[in-house]
Structures are given as C-alpha cells and as structure tokens.
C-alpha cells in the first residue's frame, strides 16, 4: 500500500472529510483542474455523474471535454461563473443540471476554491460535486405548503375585541368596527350600555361578561343586539377571561360573528376550512392552529394518522389534557411563558396520549401571531412524532449494552483478525451485519467484498492506518455493507485497535454495531426539523409583512380623519364667504363694473377652495355618494370628447373596451372625476407627448391568480386601467403617491390631491386601487370595482353637474336651524332675498317651540352637525310632530347619520356647504316639491 500522510495533517483531515462525505452520499464526485495547463482530473464518481466513460477517471482531460454533459440552458451561466471565479474569485459555488449515466438530467452544485500563485494568477481549481435534486424538490414542496397556509391565514374571518373589568371596550379589529357601525375612536372606552339602544339588552350583555370574568371560564353564546340607530343584529360570541401575567382576570376577550345571514357565513367558513385542509395535507406532521380568543384549535388529518384521534377541531384544554400528567404542568407553563411574555416562537418535548392509551414522544413547535399592540391572536405549529427516534435511541443503547457484554464474552459483535495467518473470526452477530448465515465460513476477502462500493476505499484506508506501525491509528469508522446472501444494505459502526509485536501489527481486535435504524431515524429527523423551521420562519416573515400593511392603513386612516375635519371646517367658513358675495353681487349697482369684477374674482377663488375641500373629502371617504347600476363602457364612451380635449394634441388616446363587461355599482360623476384625474396626471407625466391607454375588462381573482394581483381579495371585479408612456415613478415616489398633498410638480402646478381623491373614492366604493411604475417605463393605475351581482337594470345617468337656471323663490315659510351664527345669518338673508318668509334658530331647543308656534312652516332647513341634538335627530322629532313637514339638510361633510358607508339615501334632500344662492334656490324648490 502507498504511504498516506499523517492522520493529523491538514491534508489527511481534508481527505478524510471528503471520504466521509462521499461515503455518506453528500458528495457525488471530486475534480481538480490545472488552470495553467487546462488539465482536468475527475474521480470515478464524477465521471458517472456526468455520464462519462469510467476509464476517464483519474486521466488528464480538458475542461470542454466534460461540459458537453451540461444542460444547454445552464451552460452559459456555468461557464460565466467559472470565468469569473478564475479571474477574480476565491471560492466557487454554482448549481446546474448535468446528464448522468442514466441519460437523465440531474441538479448538481459544484463547490470549489481557486488556488493562486504569488502574483495572484490562478493555477489550480479543486472542488466537489453535490447532488441537490432532493433539496430542490423539498424546497418546492415547502414553498407550496407555505403558499397554501399563507392564503388560509389571510382569509381567516372573525370579529375580535377586548374589554376591561368594568366592561369598557379596549380594542376591536376591523370586523368589530364594521359590526358596531362606529369608528374605533367613537366606541373605544365605552360600554355596551352606551353603545346599545336597548338598556335591557345592554344590561344582559354586561351581566354575561361579568359572569365570565368572575368564573374565569370561556363561554360561547348568541346575543341579540339593538343599536342606537335602530339596527338589530344577532351575534355568535365566544368570550373568555383576559388574564395578566400572574393569571389574574383583568378583563374579557371575545370573538363575535354576525349570524343574521348564516348561510353566507357558513359558505365562507367552508371555503376557509377547505383551504386550510389543503395546506395541512402538504405535511405529515400534526399541524395545529390555535385561536387565542376562544381556545378553538383546528387539526390536520395527521393527528389521526399519527396518534389515532379522529378529531378535526378541539379546544386547547383537550390538547393539554392529553399530555402526560408528569409533563403537563411544565408544558403549560412553557407555552404561556412565550404567549404572555411577548415571545414569538415556542418549542418543547413531551409525551402525548394516543387514542389507544399509549404515549408518543413528540417535539412540538409553534409561532405566535400578534396584532399591532402585541396581543396574541393565533398560534400555529406542528407536532413531530419522535417515537421512532426514541425507539432507535433505546435500541442503540440496548445494542451498546449487548456490545459491552459481547466484548466481555468475546462473541456478539466481536471481530478478530490474525494478520500473520490471515484468519478472520466473526461471531453470528457480526456475520449477520454482512448478510451471512451463522454457519458460513468467512475470510478477509468476504469482509472486503461485503463493503459498499462507495465506502470501500475509506474503510480499507482506515484499516490500513490502524495496522500501520508508524501511525497505529484508532480504527473508528461507519460504513455500509451489502449482504452476501440477502443483498440488503446495512449501516455498521466499527471500532478497533491493532496489536503490535516487534514493530509489526500481528492482530486486530474490535467490535461492530448495526446502526441502520439510527441512520434512517436521524436522516428523517433532520429533514423534518429543516421543514418545520422553514415554515415557522415563513410565518413570522408573513406576520411582519401584515403588520407593515396595517401600519400603513392606519396612517392613511388617520390622515383621512384629519383632512376630513379640515374640509368640514373650511366648508363652514367658505359658506360665509361664497353666499354673502353672491348676495353682495345682487345688491351692487350693475353699472359698477369694477366692483362686480372684484366680486367675481373673490367668488372664483372661493369656488376653487371649495373644490379643494371636495378633494379632501374624497380622500377621507366622507363625500356623499349616489351610486347607481353602471355600465363603465358606456360611461367611458361618453367621456371620449372630454378626454381628448383635456389631453391635448401631443397625446394619443387609445381606448380598449372589454367585451361583455360586467356592471358595477358606483357614483357615475365621481367615477368620471377619477378617470379624468388619472388622465390629467398621465398627461403631465408626458411633457413631450406620448400615448395614453384606457382599458376595461372583467377580472376574476381566485387562488390561481392571486399572486398577479397582490393585496386584492378574491372576488369578481370590473377593472379600469389607465396607463401611459411617461417618465414613471421611483420606488420612494410610488410609496407616497396616494398621500394627500404629496406632489412632484413645481409649486403652483398641483395640489397633490389628484391620486388621493382617486384612492378615497375607490376605497369608499368598496374597491381597490393598484399602481405599477418604474422610472422611464411609464405608469399604470388599475381600479378594481366590485361586480354588481344579479341582473343589472339600465338606470338613468345622474343629472349633469352643470347647474340649471334656478327657479324663483316662493312665499312659503321656512325655518333655518344652524349653530354657526354667520352661516345662519346668510341662509336667512338668502332665503329672504328669494322671497320666502324665514324664521331662524340656533339649535333644537329653540327650533321645536317655533315649529309648535307656527303651523305654517313648510320646510325645515337644518345643519346636520350640531352639538347635543344633530340635524337628523331634530328632523325626526319635528316629523313626529308634523308628519307632512319637508326637510332640507346642509352639511360640510358626510360623517353623520345621513349616510350609510358614505352612500346617501335617495330620499334625503341635502345641500353641501358652501353653496350659492342659485344652488340654494334650486334645492329648496326640489325639497318643497318632494312627495312621499
């Protein structure tokens, strides 16, 4: 045999590492490339991996001799990576496909390093080849499971809320806000007694909450709720005590579902369960989803396959009750330490009771999903059955004990080689490891022939090192055997030492252990651990993404509330500017042209300010909408001349109207504003001219194409897309494109409210808007409006926004009610100027007595937003006294009881502030003429 380097040298350690990796199947081949002389040497393993003639192993070849086995699609990338590494690299790692000896392409990864001389020139390039086919397959399966699980998480329904010990609401999710019908700032800090219209029902709800907090037990019940505005709803509520870190009850948490439309809710639940089932089927682990609000736990089918429990849902207590009594307290403490301590990941080992009463050893891991305040919402995890591994470990311990006894008795697992006489002694146990019967005769040739081909060289080299008098190494190897009689492949761990006499090894003694089951269990455990860790990391990353989206949504909501309030105040102030200017124009001598010009200038500026407040209201979703069944193709066709006029001659307009377009339910005038805003923005982005394309089409979003419409929930939509060939937007500009007052235009050339108005209208119409852009490649804005379900009856187009000639006034008596003295004074003067008999009041307290004292009052003209009693409440009290009384409301925004989700009741007569005398005259006559 050739002399090998010392076993503790770097070269020996490197060679041993490579040999062990080859033995374990981690490396499928090695190479060395003499870069200077372009001479490539590969081993037999690599030759097989590339489908080469095995005779070429160890011979000098050129690099291009082996590149023919590379997949044509991967060859350019591989050669480029090799060139880059030789030119200026240090290490090399690159995946590609190669055609093996079976004629099929397999995924491999080459890993190597560049050796350089003193001048830095590449001289050598050694490396190894790794088979990554299985790794890529596992990654693909993992990605699919993650996508399914992520879809389930995003679609999870429910209303969640928390109350303090006194019954005051501490928080509520988006579903709670929709169910209550008030924004969070109006219900947080209030009790059911303040929110519900029926005192008896409010008392019953609060009594139930107090009982649950006192008992410390979770309950599920149905509650009939009456709201202050007359609405009624049935809630299916699950309530549980809220505890602090010490376990003391400090409040109540609950989830509620509006079950007045139970069939729709059931359909949604079944859809979510199906998606969860598909996600859970992607793994063999017992996956669980624990909802913190009510302790509800959903299991996948593996809980039955692994442990025999025929359950799909349970409570968290059911899971805890099935933990071994000796482990229960520890596990309960460890998982709640993570949940209550604001942790994100939990892991523990315990014994879990199977359906047949036996216990399985499990490794359980979970990730906590929290809301923006850090409160735990759900916990998702998976139970890994460790029974096989534990059994393997127990078997190994038993084998080691038997090995010890065998060693003492010089039989089981024992081997003895007489190197002088060439005699090999194996007891039956050792023969069995090589697939031989107990009575078979054995020689060293049987030992060598029984070694697996991939492990033979390394094992014999270790044996030679142990027999070498110069090294006297310890023989400690793991290798595979191929049974001589049964052909079964087994894993064997062998240890031994040589006996030396007069500087020569005369005998070697040792033991051998069959570790086949341990190897299989370790490989499976490693694979399952990697899959579980990857899933947990993915869920944590998804939670961070959702938190970022929630923070952005809350920021936009806060800005919307601020802009809505500003618009309301400005409208009240503008009402005292536009109206008096209108009156002043009527009273000034018509011969004074300068005075009339000044008034017109002031009116023009005030009207432009009013348009600005309308855009603020649109962004804040506080503008009253009058939606109708709408054919978007018909609307766009009617806008053609307007768009051409607005764009100018340098912009080419292209309109693509989708066939059989679905109808939608939207405000036609506001939708025209949206399309016009997008077209004008596109025009400004193409100062040198270009092409503007407006498209319509039907868009159905489901699980199959959700990735191409990120952030848009599944459903049917009417899609309107406006795209241009302009300058485009940088990523930082895109991130703020819908923010109010944000603009990239020069001072005086834009308010920054165009896209904000688009965003507000689409959100108020229950739709969605998406923006795609990149510098130099243009911009595309897509508006998704919900499809109108059912048969769409043609509806008349809303009246033109151009005011008609106002009618003359009348002699009726009108009662004006407004808490703003300046607005009230103008309204009185304007109506008097129109010829009406006018009375006024600053609120409900003074208005109702006037109604009683003057039966001739034909119209109540009242502001909506007033302290104590608002306009809607005043009108209800007035109509109770005078059923035939006509009512006209005035308001600066729509955040009041006149609208439902921003949509104006068709029977309500409303005039928006500010208004002119002409507008007032028209609305008064319409209100007085209204019937029914």
Q: Measured between alpha carbons, how far is 853 from 864 in angstroms, rounded to an integer?
A: 23
Res 710: pLDDT: 80
Pairing status of strand 159-164 against strand 169-172:
antiparallel
704-722 pLDDT, tens per residue?
777 777 878 888 999 999 9
Mean pLDDT within 339-364: 93
Section 836-863 average pLDDT: 92
SS3 assignment, position 505: strand
Q: Between the CA atoms of 697, 698, 703 and 707, what dihedral angle is there, to the nearest 10 degrees? A: 10
Task: Report pLDDT digits (tens) over 488-544.
Answer: 999 999 888 999 988 899 999 888 888 888 888 888 888 888 788 777 777 776 677
Chain centroid to CA 577: 49
Give the integer Cα–Cα distance in Å for 695 and 512. Answer: 76
Q: Burial-class residue 563 by CB neighbours within 10 Å (0-12, 13-18, 19+).
A: buried
Average pLDDT, stretch 398-406? 62
Q: Identify the pLDDT of residue 180.
A: 73
Query: Which single residue is written with the structure tokens 């027999």?
Result: 467
Sequence-distant (6+) residues with CB within 8 A of 734 are: 771, 773
For residue 118, the model assigns a pLDDT of 87
DSSP string, 278-329: HHHTT-SSEEEEEETTTTEEEE-THHHHHH----SEEEHHHHHHTB-HHHHH
Per the structure block, which two tokens stand in for 834?
């129109």
User: What's the pLDDT at 572?
Assistant: 64
Bin 472: left if φ > 0, else alpha if -120 < ψ < 50, else beta.
left
> From edge to edge, which strands make up the β-sheet containing 232-243?
169-172, 159-164, 249-258, 232-243, 219-226
pLDDT grade, residue 747 (50/70/90)?
A: very low
Where do we find the tokens 């998702």?
380
How many C-beta neighbours within 10 Å does residue 356 have? 7
Percent of the chain with pLDDT over 70: 76
The helix (run of H) or strand (run of E) holding residue 29 is: strand 29-34
Between the CA of residue 579 and those of 267, 497, 609, what are the distances in Å? 54, 109, 14
Look up residue 3 and give its two tokens.
């002399």
What does the alpha-carbon distance between residue 225 and residue 170 come to, in Å, rounded to a whole number?
19
How is residue 551 written in tokens?
């923070």
Condensed to tens digits (0 to 9), the pLDDT of residues 126-163 reads: 999 998 888 888 887 877 865 653 443 334 366 788 89
Q: How many CB atoms lie under 10 A from the CB of residue 328? A: 15
Q: Which two tokens mark 482? A: 């191929």
51 DSSP assignment? T
What are 93-124's pLDDT values in tens digits? 999 998 988 888 889 999 999 999 988 898 89
Give the residue among 70, 67, 69, 61 at the shortest CA–CA distance from 33: 61
* pLDDT over 50 at 695, yes or no: yes
The C-alpha angle 305, 309, 310, rounded to 5 degrees, equals: 90
- Is residue 341 packed enough to be buried (19+ CB in 10 Å), middle (13-18) or exposed (0-12)? exposed
**Does residue 890 register a pLDDT over 50?**
yes
Chain segment 38-47, per-residue pLDDT in tens: 899 998 888 8
Cα 235 from Cα 304, distance rounded (Å):
33
Find the helix or strand (DSSP H, E) in which 414 lies: strand 414-418
Q: How far is CA 605 from CA 45, 290, 599, 601, in A?
A: 85, 59, 10, 6
Looking at residue 227, the DSSP 8-state letter turns out to be B
The torsion angles phi and psi of 50, rounded to 5 degrees, stand at -100, 5
From 81-95, 132-146, 909-923, the region with the lowest mean pLDDT = 132-146
Question: Looking at the DSSP assignment, which residues form a beta bridge with residue 32?
Answer: 41, 126
pLDDT at 287 over 80: yes
Taking the C-alpha atoms of residue 44 and residue 373, their distance in angstroms, rounded to an integer, is 61
- Give the Cα separation of 261 and 157 in Å (integer): 14
Q: HSE (CB half, 13 Å, CA atoms) of 320? A: 15
pLDDT, one tens digit per residue, over 653-686 is 888 888 999 999 887 777 887 888 888 888 888 8
Question: How confident is the model over 801-823, as pLDDT tens digits?
Answer: 434 444 556 779 999 999 888 88
The one-character DSSP state at 55 is G
Q: Average of pLDDT values for 315-342?
A: 93
Contact status, residue 122 vs residue 34, Cβ threshold 8 Å: no
d(CA 500, CA 481): 28
Task: Name the average pLDDT for the chain.
Answer: 80
Q: Is the pLDDT of residue 788 over 90?
A: no
CB 439 within 8 Å of CB 536: no
How far is residue 420's CA from residue 499's CA, in Å, rounded to a whole number?
A: 11
Read off the pLDDT band of 560 (50, 70, 90): low
């Amino acid at each position: 045999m050739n002399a090998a380097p010392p076993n503790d040298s770097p070269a020996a350690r490197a060679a041993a590492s490579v040999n062990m990796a080859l033995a374990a199947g981690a490396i499928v081949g090695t190479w060395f490339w003499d870069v200077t002389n372009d001479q490539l040497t590969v081993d037999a393993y690599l030759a097989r991996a590339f489908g080469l003639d095995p005779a070429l192993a160890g011979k000098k070849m050129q690099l291009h001799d082996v590149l023919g086995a590379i997949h044509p699609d991967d060859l350019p990338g591989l050669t480029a990576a090799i060139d880059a590494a030789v030119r200026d690299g240090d290490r090399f790692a690159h995946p590609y496909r190669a055609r093996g000896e079976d004629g099929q392409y397999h995924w491999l990864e080459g890993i190597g390093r560049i050796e350089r001389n003193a001048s830095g020139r590449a001289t050598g390039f050694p490396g190894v080849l790794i088979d990554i086919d299985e790794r890529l397959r596992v990654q693909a399966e993992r990605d699919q499971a993650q996508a399914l699980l992520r879809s389930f998480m995003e679609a999870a329904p429910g209303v969640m809320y928390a109350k303090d010990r006194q019954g005051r609401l501490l928080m509520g999710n988006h579903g709670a806000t929709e169910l209550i019908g008030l924004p969070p700032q109006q219900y947080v800090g209030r009790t059911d007694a303040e929110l519900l219209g029926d005192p008896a029902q409010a008392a019953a709800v609060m009594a139930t909450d107090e009982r649950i907090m006192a008992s410390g037990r979770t309950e599920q019940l149905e509650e009939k709720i009456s709201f202050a505005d007359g609405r009624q709803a049935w809630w299916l509520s699950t309530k549980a005590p809220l505890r602090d870190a010490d376990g003391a009850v400090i409040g109540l948490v609950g989830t509620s579902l509006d079950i007045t439309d139970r069939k729709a809710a059931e359909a949604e639940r079944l859809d979510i369960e199906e998606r969860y089932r598909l996600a859970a089927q992607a793994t063999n682990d017992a996956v669980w989803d624990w909802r913190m609000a009510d302790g509800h736990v959903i299991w996948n089918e593996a809980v039955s396959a692994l442990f025999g429990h025929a359950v799909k849902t349970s409570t968290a207590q059911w899971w805890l009750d099935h933990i071994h009594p000796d482990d229960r307290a520890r596990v309960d403490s460890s998982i709640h330490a993570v949940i209550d301590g604001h942790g994100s990941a939990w892991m523990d080992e315990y014994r879990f009771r199977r359906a047949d009463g036996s216990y399985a050893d499990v490794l359980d891991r979970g990730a906590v999903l929290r809301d923006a305040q850090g409160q735990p919402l759900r916990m998702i995890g998976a139970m890994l059955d460790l029974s096989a591994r534990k059994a393997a470990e127990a078997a190994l311990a038993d084998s080691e004990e038997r090995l010890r006894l065998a060693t003492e008795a010089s039989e089981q697992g024992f081997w003895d080689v007489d190197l002088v006489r060439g005699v090999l002694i194996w007891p039956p146990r050792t023969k069995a490891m090589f697939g031989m019967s107990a009575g078979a005769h054995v020689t060293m040739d049987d030992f060598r022939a029984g070694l697996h081909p991939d492990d033979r060289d390394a094992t014999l080299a270790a044996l030679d090192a142990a027999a070498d008098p110069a090294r006297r190494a310890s023989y400690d190897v793991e290798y595979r055997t191929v049974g001589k009689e049964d052909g079964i492949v087994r894993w064997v761990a062998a240890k031994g030492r040589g006996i030396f006499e007069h500087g020569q090894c005369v005998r070697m003694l040792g033991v051998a252990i069959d570790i086949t089951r341990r190897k299989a269990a370790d490989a499976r455990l490693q694979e399952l651990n990697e899959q579980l860790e990857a899933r947990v990391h993915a869920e944590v990353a998804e939670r961070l993404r959702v938190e970022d989206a929630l923070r952005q949504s809350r920021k936009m909501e806060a800005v919307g509330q601020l802009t809505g309030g500003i618009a309301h105040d400005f409208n009240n102030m503008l009402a005292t500017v536009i109206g008096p200017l209108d009156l002043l124009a009527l009273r000034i001598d018509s011969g004074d042209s300068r005075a009339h010009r000044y008034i017109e200038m002031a009116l023009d500026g005030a009207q432009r300010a009013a348009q600005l407040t309308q855009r603020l209201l649109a962004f804040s979703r506080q503008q009253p909408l009058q939606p109708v069944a709408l054919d978007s193709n018909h609307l766009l066709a009617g806008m053609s001349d307007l768009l051409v006029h607005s764009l100018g001659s340098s912009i080419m307009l292209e309109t693509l109207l989708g066939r059989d377009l679905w109808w939608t339910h939207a405000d036609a005038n506001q939708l025209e504003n949206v399309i016009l805003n997008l077209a004008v923005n596109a025009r400004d982005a193409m100062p040198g001219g270009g092409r503007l394309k407006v498209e319509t089409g039907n868009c159905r979003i489901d699980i199959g194409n959700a990735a191409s419409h990120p952030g848009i929930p599944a459903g049917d939509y009417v899609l309107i897309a406006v795209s241009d060939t302009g300058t485009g937007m940088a990523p930082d500009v895109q991130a703020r494109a819908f923010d109010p007052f944000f603009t990239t235009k020069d001072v005086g050339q834009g308010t920054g409210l165009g896209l904000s108005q688009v965003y507000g209208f689409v959100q108020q119409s229950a739709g969605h808007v998406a923006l795609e852009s990149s510098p130099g490649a243009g911009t595309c804005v897509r508006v998704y409006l919900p499809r109108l379900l059912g048969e769409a009856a043609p509806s008349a187009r809303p009246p033109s926004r151009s005011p008609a000639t106002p009618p003359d006034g009348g002699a009726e008596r009108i009662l004006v009610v407004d808490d703003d003295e300046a607005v009230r004074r103008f309204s009185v003067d304007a109506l008097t100027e129109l010829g009406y008999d006018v009375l006024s009041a600053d609120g409900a307290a003074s208005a109702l007595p006037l109604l009683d004292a003057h039966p001739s009052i034909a119209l109540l003209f009242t502001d909506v937003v007033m302290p104590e009693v608002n306009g809607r409440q005043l009108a209800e009290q007035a109509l109770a006294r005078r059923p035939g009384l006509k009512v006209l409301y005035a308001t600066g925004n729509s955040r009041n009881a006149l609208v439902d989700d921003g949509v104006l009741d068709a029977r309500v007569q409303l005039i928006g502030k500010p208004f002119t005398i002409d507008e007032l005259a028209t609305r008064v006559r319409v209100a007085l003429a209204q019937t029914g």
